[in-house]
Amino acid sequence: MSRASPDKSPGRIGRRRALFARGEAELVPQARLSGPMPWVIAIMVALTAIALAAGLTLGNTVTAATAEIEGGVTVQIVEPRTDLREREVTRALAALKVLPGIQSIRLVPQEELDKLVAPWLGSVDEDPAAAAIPVPALIDVRLRRPTTRSQVAVVEEALLPVAPSARVDAQATWLRPVFDAIVSLQWLAIALVVLLAGALAAAVLLAARSALGTNRDTIEIVHLLGGTDTQIARVFQRSIGWDAAGGGAVGLALAMMVILGLGRRFSGLGAGMVSSGGLVWTDWLLLALVPLLATLLAMLTARLTVMHALRKML
Amino acid sequence: MRQDDDQRLHGSELFFPHSLTAIARSAYLAHSVFEDELMSITAGDEIVHFDNVGLRYSTDREVLSDLSFTLFPGTFYFLTGASGAGKTSLLRLLYLAQRPSRGVIRMFGKDAITTPRSGLPAMRRRIGVVFQDFRLVPHLSAFDNVALPLRVAGFGEREIAGPVADILDWVGLADRRDARPATLSGGEQQRIAIARAVIGRPDVLVADEPTGNVDPEMAVKLLRLFELLNRQGTTVVVATHDVHLLKKVSNPLIMRLDRGRLSDPTGALRYPPRRVT
């Protein structure tokens, strides 16, 4: 057998990193899915994805609803006498048509009003007493720009001489508490995502420390054979990376089942605001990134933990 | 290779029934893969130098005191002393598992104490260690244990396979290449540990009681292997308290430790031999 020529002899740093891959993987026994780590990561990823989906859905709900009611003004003609109410409605519609800054005006039909109040007053078709109860007429006004107090005041001033019983409300004003509550829930979802990421990092930190303790003899031997901190850290980084990737895939699958199941339930409600908050494709993409980001976070945590621990060794 | 080397190698062959060619080839292959990392060592270059070195663990008294000596390339030392004299502590300093409490240690021309941690792995790759308790990686096969130093150094599987197979052949364990350490006898584990220590053709080989777990006949065979390496330029330090082993070597150079202090019964430390390599 001939002696290897020096120019072919390896050992340079650039090749060393690539060539160490196979050997590294064998240095630490791999538990894979039989160990607890992938399952912990699966649970974390599932919870994170669900929390993120909830946050995104709430965000979409707020966005859609805001766009819908931003320029909305509701005019109620509360005159109890029907003939006077109809006269005021006619005059109010005429006054609104000439008002600048109005995009559209819609008189809510009586049938639609009857449907709206039916759960509380009963059906006007079945209960004559319900038909006798005066219900305000509703005019849905859409402004060209988001509603402001001054614009509401302009509408009120225009209607006061022609429809004294008119009550003008900006839709955004009475829905503000609902929006605030939704935004709070959105922040809660973001906080949950951050907390879960922290919990994942903590779990990985503990796992890496445990693995370091278990494999201390092997690490010491590799050190004494000339192994570098980076090489040893890469062993754990890769090991935990595989665990995180496997756990992340399982977690994402679990989360998808939950999200799709809940989505179907909520879409069955048929409530306008809820059904307007579905996930768009960019949201699905973001959800798909959760296991990837979890894997990267786990690998980074493992690397930093192991490097920190190794620095204490000679 | 000299005539007496041949005879010794054939002596090894009695125990390790493999050809002299295979032994020499293993050594040369191992040497070739590390060649680009080797510094040129010429006659007279010191390879290890201790100057007034002391070692204490925590706040206890010093386990090693005032150690001053120089090791040169191609020399063969026995480190002797009673149990607890500090042999293992001195060896730990030699294979850079421990920093001393005081003094200066120079290895391969560099100050090993002030060298940053990042510089130690390169120095450690030039040192082969046979641990008293073998310290094989339990979940790796015999082959993978022997291949570990080469993998750590970054060599590819194709470059590793030949030298590792040859060296397993050399130590008579070619047929146990897939065995885990737990399934090997004490003697077999010892030979795997030795193969791992020498696969990278180190500049310095440090062996802590390498014959402690084997019968006298095997002890002599292992000693012959160390001598073979030594003749190829490796500085060998063998720690032992087996006085019979010393008699198996002609004109042994002895470093004797007594309660952490070094004596120089053969004058080898005051007048170190200088081999031309």
Taking only the tens place, the pLDDT of each residue in B23-57 is 444 444 444 444 433 334 444 578 899 999 999 98
Q: How far apart are the first and last CA of chain B?
A: 12
On chain A, the residues whose CB falls within 8 A of the CB of B153 are 11, 16, 226
Which residues pair with residue B53 across a beta bridge? B67
- Residue B90, classed as helix, strand or coil, is helix
Q: Which two tokens stand for residue B222?
A: 């292992």
CA A217, A220, A223 angle in degrees (round to 5)?
150
CA distance linking residue A199 with residue A237, whole number of Å: 18
Give strand pairing partners of B236.
B76, B205
Residue count of chain A, please give it.
314
Whole-number pLDDT of residue A170? 82
Strand order in the sheet with A102-107: A102-107, A137-143, A72-77, A166-170
Taking alpha carbons only, the member of A309, A203, A292, A310 closest to residue A241 is A292
Interface check B260 vs A, CB under 8 A: no
B-chain CB neighbours of A24 within 8 Å are 151
Residue B250 to chain A, least CA–CA distance (Å): 31
With beta carbons less than 8 A apart as the criterion, state whether B49 and B207 touch: no
As to burial, measured by CB atoms within 10 angstroms (0-12 exposed, 13-18 middle, 19+ buried), residue B98 is middle
Quote the Cα angle for A46-A50-A52, to 5°.
115
**B32 to A225: CB separation less than 8 angstroms, yes or no:** no
Which one-letter amino acid corresponds to residue A8?
Answer: K
Phi, psi for residue B188 in degrees, rounded to 5: -65, -40
DSSP for A19-72, written as a single string? HTHHHHHHHS---GGGSSHHHHHHHHHHHHHHHHHHHHHHHHHHHHHHHHHTTE
pLDDT recorded at residue A248: 93
Measured between CA atoms, how close is B75 to chain A, in angstroms?
Answer: 22
* Cβ–Cβ under 8 Å, residues A96 and A102: yes
In B202-242, which ranges are continuous DSSP H helix?
216-231
Mutant choice from B26, B115, B127, B148 vs A, greatest count of A C-beta within 10 A = B148
Inform me whether the pLDDT recorded for B5 exceeds 60: no
Of B20, B144, B151, the C-alpha closest to A21 is B151
Nearest-angstrom CA–CA distance, A290 and A194: 12
Q: Which residues of A touch B (CB under 8 A)?
A: 1, 3-4, 6, 9-13, 15-17, 19-20, 22-24, 26-27, 29, 217-218, 220-229, 231, 311, 314
Distances (CA, A) of B30 to A58, B84, B221: 65, 35, 21
* Per-residue confidence (pLDDT) for residue A65, from 0 to 100: 77
Output the pLDDT for position A13.
32
Q: Give tens-digit pLDDT for A230-257.
A: 888 888 888 888 888 999 999 999 999 9
Question: Any chain A CB within 8 A of the CB of B248?
Answer: no
Give the residue among A164, A138, A134 at the shortest CA–CA distance from A75.
A138
For residue B139, list chain A residues with Cβ-Cβ distance below 8 A.
29
Q: What angle do CA A136, A141, A145 make, to 5 degrees?
A: 150
Q: What is the pLDDT at residue B274?
A: 54
Are A48 and A150 a contacting pair, CB within 8 Å? no
Least CB–CB distance from A225: residue in B33, B149, B157: B149
- Residue B222 contacts residue B11 (beta carbons within 8 Å): no
Label the pairing between strands B62-71 and B76-80.
unpaired
Distance CA A287, CA A161 (A): 55
| Cβ within 8 Å of A, B 176-205 | 196
Question: Which whole number is the average pLDDT over B56-77?
Answer: 86
Amino acid identity of residue B14, one-letter, is L
Of B103, B225, B249, B98, the residue nearest B171 (C-alpha) = B225
Instruction: Supply the pLDDT for residue B89.
Output: 92
Nearest-neighbour CA in chain B from A25: distance (Å): 11
B59 touches chain A (CB under 8 A): no
| 3-state SS assignment for residue B49 | strand
Provide, as residue numbers in chain B, all residues whose Cβ is less than 8 Å from the Cβ of A224.
95-97, 124, 129
The whole-angstrom distance between residue B109's C-alpha and the CA centroid of its chain comes to: 19
Residue B192, pLDDT > 90, answer yes
Instruction: Report d(CA A73, CA A145) in Å as an integer.
Output: 11
Phi and psi at residue A310, in whole multiples of 5°?
-70, -30
CA distance A245 to chain B (A): 24
Measure CB to CB from residue B121 to each of A12, A220, A228 and give the nearest one.
A228
* Residue whose tokens read 């966005």: A63
CB contact under 8 A, B36 and A9: yes
> In whole angstroms, what is the distance from residue A267 CA to residue B42 CA?
83
Rounded CA-CA distance B192/B177 in Å is 10
**pLDDT-above-90 percentage for chain B:** 31
> In this complex, do A227 and B25 lie within 8 Å of one another by their Cβ atoms?
no
Determine, for residues B152 and A12 on separate chains, whether the beta-carbon distance falls below 8 Å: no
C-alpha distance from residue A85 to each of A81, A141, B2, B184 (Å)? 6, 18, 125, 102
What is the distance, to the nearest Å, from the Cα of residue A89 to the centroid of all Cα atoms in its chain?
43
Q: DSSP string covering B249-267, please? A: SSS-EEEEEETTEEE-TTS
* Pairs of CB atoms within 8 A across A/B: 102
- Mean of the pLDDT values across residues B182-195? 90
Instruction: Supply the mean pLDDT for chain B.
Output: 79
Q: Does B102 touch chain A (CB under 8 A)?
A: no
Element (H, E) at A110: helix A110-121
In this complex, the residue of A19, A220, A314 whose CB is nearest that of residue B156 is A19
What distance in Å separates residue B123's CA from the closest CA in chain A? 7
Q: Which residues of chain A have pLDDT under 50?
A: 1-20, 22-25
Containing H/E element for A87?
helix A82-97
Q: Residue A251 is which amino acid?
A: G
Tokens encoding B124: 């450690």
Structure token pair of residue B134: 């073998």
Enter the ipTM.
0.78
- Interchain CB contact of B238 with A (< 8 Å): no
Q: What is the pLDDT of residues A23-36, one digit of tens each?
A: 444 676 665 555 78
Contacts for A285 with CB less than 8 Å, ≥ 6 apart: none
CB contact under 8 A, A10 and B125: no
Residue in B127, B137, B189, B192 to test binding to A, most A beta-carbons within 10 Å: B137
pTM of the complete model: 0.69
Mutation test of the interface with chain B: which of A16, A224, A235, choosing the one with the most B Cβ atoms within 10 A?
A224
Looking at beta carbons, which residues of chain A come within 8 Å of B32?
Answer: 3-4, 6, 9
Alpha carbons B131 and B2: distance in angstroms, whole number: 30
CA angle B109, B115, B118 (to 5 degrees): 120
Retrieve residue B156's tokens.
Answer: 């590819």
| Residues of A with Cβ-Cβ distance to B95 under 8 angstroms | 224
* DSSP secondary structure string for all residues of A153-180: HHHHHHHTTT-TTEEEEEHHHHHHHHHH
Alpha carbon distance B125, B38 (integer Å) = 10
pLDDT above 90 for B59: no
Q: Shortest CB distance from B122 goes to which of A22, A226, A231?
A: A226
What's the pLDDT tens digit per position in B202-255? 999 999 988 777 777 777 878 888 888 888 888 999 998 777 778 777 777 888
> Rounded to whole angstroms, how far apart are CA atoms B142 and B47?
31
